[in-house]
Amino acid sequence: MYPKEVEKVLLKVQKPGKYTGGELNAVIKNKEDVDLRFAFCFPDTYEVGMSHLGMKILYSLFNSVPYIWCERVFAPWIDMEEQMIKHNIPLYALESGDALSEFDFIGFTLQYELSYTNVLNMLKMGNVPVLSKDRTELKNIVVAGGACASNPEPLADFIDIFFIGEGEEVDLEVMELFRQCRKNGESKQDFLIKAAQIEGVYVPALYDVDYNEDGTIKSFTPNFGAPEKIHKRIIMDMDNAYFPDSFVVPNVEIVHDRAVSEIFRGCIRGCRFCQAGFMNRPVREKSIDTISEQCYKLCKNTGYDEVSLTSLSSSDYSQIVPLLNKLNEWTDEEKVSLSLPSLRVDGFTDDIMSKIKTVRKSGLTFAPEAGTQRLRDAINKNVREDELLETCATAFNGGWTNIKLYFMTGLPTETDEDLEGIANLGQAVVNTFYRCENRAKGRGVNVTCSASPFIPKPFTPFQWEAQDDIPEIKRKQMIVKNAIKTKKITFNYHDAATTFLEGVFARGDRKLCKVMLKASEKGFHFDGWSDCFSIDKWLEIFEECGVNPEFYTSRKRSFDEILPWDFIDYGVNKSFLKSECLKAYESTTTPNCREKCSACGAAKYKGGVCYEKCKNMV
């Protein structure tokens, strides 16, 4: 429960329910009965963090261990932060009300580069030293995992341990090691050296980085017996992987306020811009019975009347229609609705449409990613225009009138003609609506085209590519906007300046740590929110620190350059990523993993969709 001092400020902030705890299914333990306390920190607001599936899984998993008490901590919004500073209230966990400084482990999930300043700000607010070297005792061990841990270097000076890959097993192994080290009276240094031997653990303090005169990396050297290569941890048996039978039910409305069930991990598609698709290989599915049972328990224990079947591409589940039929055996009776949030254009059928009727509330979303077939082939987005229009016709005839289309601008090999193609494709969808005889009568169509600037991410075939600068991003957005000729199409686009900064930290190295530290000293936070973000202030810090941010964004890298994340192995060979990059220049596609194995390297895990096709090659 929240500290008593919080009571006098709750009426001065918006949504005080975010700061009180006491939710249904929150786990409360006796401090005297546990050996280890873990503060699970989400570096964003309660509404965003409480929607994150990974946090739900690990929170329940950690608390299933009798000697661990895991509690939740979220970044307080600006109004609450001001009150906490004014009244000298440290950042606290929702379950006990204790400050961050009281915890053995302080863990962050890193889902977005522009949340990094919140990580440091939360440590400061919790009275925890920001720099790893200043936390000398065997307590307040700061750990981090998640998608952005794929390039941990911009936070290397602040995080004691990064978890690389999937955390269900490695996290518990590290915590058990911590218990033993503390029992034996060992130091923090002893603990970190031993932790580095656990697969999936990266301890930045045990590595030295040297640079060439041009600023590129010369060498990356492990010390104290730390491994040269960090191999990701991966859960291969999804049916027996831990999954909670209940979630904490939030006190206030959150971004995704529903039950969520993970149906598989990985993706078969190989879109060349998609970091998650390559990092999470191979595809590993849960069985129909496992999914149905987990969904049923979640709805019973939370009271939710909607369950979302989540994955990187839900319609790629190999038995999607039998799964929906199985779920409908009890969802109809229980009045629980189903949604598939990640549908591919070529995966939306009449069978699926009839079973996810709740999606009509907000429309259907598809991601062509590019406006022309040539560019879709270049990025390996194996979707044709006729497939998109046929899918939209199916939806329109089924009663939908709102379609959202996601695109990217600034993709490698892109031309202005490709950008105009975004508007043309949106217009083709509008025209398709009016050609459908069974469309909803008396209603118009609305097509929303959303365009996000391309950011080259680590462990993708485009990790070597240059990123558009801010003026070029804006120019391309205006090309699309001016090419749209109807009010039936709404065009949304992402802020160019935040995209630029995201690109800096996505591919940055350790030299950015001094930039992060300076930003922390100046009180930067919530950079992903327009209320707080200032590109001018960030550029001032870069100049003050003698760091050129465009070195990380606008510069195209050679295939021979040592990249800041090259010491990490996510299972896909660098040579394969290079060959995919070269194929992009020729607009040559690669078949998906179910059609043909492309020998990316993930077969070494001896499981998943790819292994059956190439086990003889391993």
Sign of CA dihedral 119, 122, 124, 126: negative
Contact 309, 339 (CB under 8 A): yes
The pTM (predicted TM-score) of the whole model is 0.95
Q: What is the pLDDT of residue 346?
A: 76
State how far the Cα of 137 lies from the Cα of 158, in Å rounded to an integer.
Answer: 15
Whether residue 421 contacts residue 370, with contact meaning beta carbons closer than 8 Å, is answered with yes
* Residue 89 DSSP class: P
If one counts every other C-beta atom within 10 angstroms of the C-beta of residue 482, the result is 12
Report the relative pairing of strands 264-265 and 284-285 from DSSP bridges: antiparallel
Q: Residue 567: CB partners within 8 Å, gap ≥ 6?
A: 207, 220, 228, 229, 230
Q: Tokens 């090691």 label which residue?
A: 177
- Inter-CA distances, 51 with 15, 55, 257, Å: 16, 8, 7
Q: Which of 341, 332, 337, 289 is nearest to 311 (CA)?
A: 341
What Å distances lie between residue 405 and 409, 430, 451, CA to CA? 13, 12, 9
Give me 488's structure tokens: 């039936």
And the tokens for 381? Answer: 């987005």
In contact, 221 and 231? CB cutoff 8 Å: no
Report the candidate in 162, 89, 88, 65 with the shortest Cα–Cα distance to residue 119: 162
Whole-number pLDDT of residue 399? 87
Cα-Cα end-to-end distance for the chain: 53
SS3 of residue 517 by DSSP: helix
Tell me, what's the pLDDT at 362? 52
3-state helix, strand, coil in the chain (%, to 5): 40, 15, 45
Strands 402-409 and 364-369: parallel
- In angstroms, the CA 185 to CA 271 distance is 49
Residue 407 three-state SS: strand
CA 20 distance to own-chain centroid? 27
**Rounded to an integer, what is the distance from CA 129 to the centroid of its chain?**
26
d(CA 48, CA 254): 7
Residues with Cβ within 8 Å of residue 520, at least 6 apart in sequence: 117, 120, 121, 124, 130
For 616, counting Cβ atoms within 10 Å of its Cβ (0-12 exposed, 13-18 middle, 19+ buried), the class is: exposed
Cα 171 to Cα 210, 294, 485, 567: the distances in Å are: 30, 23, 53, 20
Report how far residue 593's alpha carbon sits from residue 266's, in angstroms, rounded to the nearest whole number.
11
Residue 39 Cα distances to 63, 299, 323, angstroms: 11, 27, 36
Burial class for 204, CB neighbours closer than 10 Å (0-12, 13-18, 19+): buried
Count how many Cα atoms sit within 13 Å of the Cα of residue 428 in the half-sphere of its side chain: 19
Phi and psi, residue 4, nearest 5°: -60, -35
The reported pLDDT for the residue numbered 618 is: 44
Question: What are the Cα distances from residue 159, in Å, to 95, 127, 128?
Answer: 24, 16, 12
Helix-then-strand count for the chain, H and E: 21, 19
Q: How far apart are CA 255 and CA 379, in angstroms?
A: 30
Gap between the Cα atoms of 142 and 232, Å rounded: 19
Q: Which two tokens stand for residue 564?
A: 């800041």
CA atoms within 13 A on the CB side of 333: 6
CB 261 within 8 A of CB 241: no
Amino acid at 467: Q
Query: Tokens 């995992």 — which residue?
Result: 145
The span from the CA of 148 to the CA of 151, in Å, is 6
pLDDT of amino acid 190: 98
CA separation for the pair 113, 366 (Å, rounded): 25
In Å, how far are 214, 408, 423, 467 from 455, measured between CA atoms?
23, 9, 21, 6
CA 434 to chain centroid, in Å, comes to 37
Strand, helix or coil for residue 126: coil
- Amino acid identity at 209: V
What's phi and psi for 310, nearest 5 deg? -105, 150
**Residue 165 CB partners (closer than 8 Å, separation 6+):** 200, 231, 232, 233, 234, 570
Helices within 11-114 (DSSP H only) = 46-49, 53-63, 78-86
How does DSSP classify residue 91? P
- At 356 the pLDDT is 67
285 close to 239: Cβ distance less than 8 angstroms: no
Report in angstroms the alpha-carbon separations of 40 from 119, 180, 444: 12, 21, 46
Per-10-residue mean pLDDT, the chain, length 618: 85 95 97 97 97 97 98 98 96 97 98 97 98 98 98 98 98 98 98 98 98 98 98 97 96 92 95 97 96 96 93 91 93 89 76 62 81 98 93 90 95 98 98 92 92 98 98 98 97 97 98 98 96 97 98 97 98 98 98 93 89 52
What's the pLDDT at 349? 76
pLDDT at position 424 is: 98
